[in-house]
Structure 1
């Protein structure tokens, strides 16, 4: 399945500075904006149902001891949806009804796996981080739209282990991220944006990082329709009762040609890629189509000049 954002181009442009920044980039989050809802909600929730039915072990997993925090997440989501997005769900007598899909869920059917149900109510993926000796570790997740990582390989690992393949993470972000997680306050949720350019628009992707396979079929002329901007809007909030941290990921995918009316963003993206260290370019699998991408973005800029 491919995500589609609103007409008129990408909603978010975290590359707009024209520089590549290996930084957390956290900003304060108002909880009324915690959950993102748009025109793709019914389609994406239906896709989640399909994945949870056909690939359940690949998209949901949890560890013993996470049960109370999972229930806390579900209750917080139900409350937020009812208060901030009225009409999307109805919750009464232990049953949740979802307006767009017509699905109904009985809480008791999910037992100790409340995060499984929580993930079916929102477009976001949900990752539950629990403190441990090596830092905060992934103890439960509903991850239907992974950005080229496999849940089974990350479950139980601390942040440093989860991000081990990411070029430069250990040296530049490892310790700051661990400190941030330790000191995050329950009343101070935050959000951040992450971006990548992929040769595949699918929301569900479990592999593909550090690819060196050349894409000779992708050229400066067709890159706008062969490449996609994938933006993740991520939020972090400490759960007030359990003390665990919930990490949410809302994914947006646009064809690169969405920038055709925005030569300013084309220039910014071109600059950010040029500023990106080669190791990160390799991790993000940009190398196989880097020349075509640069040529396409340059052409957009020239066309607008």
Structure 2
């Protein structure tokens, strides 16, 4: 069996004026899911969460049955086609060679089974009277939001707490969901800085002070770049959109490997509007972060000035 590749390092932050946009790119089906050396550990964490906290990580609304079944069929077909060394199917039995597990289709919920095959979380979005609706999910690695608070709601309400979403992104997102065509896979990146590396984080938004423990001495180890690689694909039979979210967590000392990157990240953070900084809970460790970034760029004369710079460009907006 061929070895798993190294985790891909995404650095989506960049300088430029802050803006909110979907910033979608197209990806081939072979690149739909990211499978790497963290696979077995993340699948083990999913198993524990589904066994001990199922109501927090899995939900399905009435009317999503056909979409959940179709989602499993498409995920399995893609994995068997593009990763036949690791995944196979014989009749109604799906086999995962990476974890040495096998399942009979129908023995567990199809969306749960799909989520047990990939490192991504999987959400279903279906058309409703009030626009695209969030109808089902296998969501083991939320980025500071609770499934119970979002399931069954239109996307406009799901993203209601996100600063500026209603004014700037609600209509473009709803329009995209209506017009996404089968066979096309769209992708985007979303990033945050957190003082907690846990994958399962159902809470923690809007913190303004205290409790981070981050200092200039430990910021490189204790502040983490959390990146969501999000993909969207129309399921042709049910018409639902399968929204997949792969979460990557990197300590900053891995991400910031040059003075130029230190300057870029400081500029990106500084340009976030105050509402976004509060929403992302940056305030408890922002000062230590800036000081650490600045200290890392001094040797080449670049300074990550917390009072200057901007953020934006592709992949920088928060949509959850």
In the alignment, which residue of structure 2 is the partner of 1:286? Answer: 282
Query: Which ranges of structure 1 fall in alignment gaps of 5 or more residues?
Result: none
User: Please, what TM-score do these two structures have when normalized by structure 2?
Assistant: 0.89
How far did residue 225 of structure 1 move? 1.2
Distance 1:101 1:19, change over 3 A: farther
Q: Which of 62, 66, 76 is equivalent to 2:64?
A: 66
1:115-154: per-residue Cα shift (whole Å, max 9, x none)? 0111000000000001011111111000011111111110
In the alignment, which residue of structure 2 is the partner of 1:53? Answer: 51
Secondary structure of the 1:137 match is strand
How far did residue 263 of structure 1 move? 2.5
Deviates more, 1:18-27 or 1:82-91: 18-27
How far did residue 239 of structure 1 move? 0.8
In the alignment, which residue of structure 2 is the partner of 1:270? Answer: 266
1:20-78: per-residue Cα shift (whole Å, max 9, x none)? 33211111121111011111111111111111111111111101111111111101111
1:190 aligned onto 2:160: no
Distance 1:186 1:138, change over 3 A: same
In the alignment, which residue of structure 1 is the partner of 2:316? Answer: none
- Tell me the number of residue pairs that the alignment of Structure 1 and Structure 2 aligns: 297
In the alignment, which residue of structure 2 is the partner of 1:257? Answer: 253
In the alignment, which residue of structure 2 is the partner of 1:212? Answer: 208
In the alignment, which residue of structure 2 is the partner of 1:222? Answer: 218
Give the distance between the partners of 1:147 and 1:216, measured in 2 at CA.
17
> Are the equivalent residues in 1 in contact too, given 2:195–2:212 (CA < 8 A)?
no
1:33 aligned onto 2:18: no
Runs of 4 or more consecutive aligned structure 1 residues displaced over 4 Å after TM superposition: none
Deviates more, 1:216-225 or 1:183-192: 216-225
User: Please, what TM-score do these two structures have when normalized by structure 1?
Assistant: 0.93
Q: Which of 175, 179, 186 is equivalent to 1:179?
A: 175
Give the distance between the partners of 2:15 and 2:154, measured in 1 at CA.
31
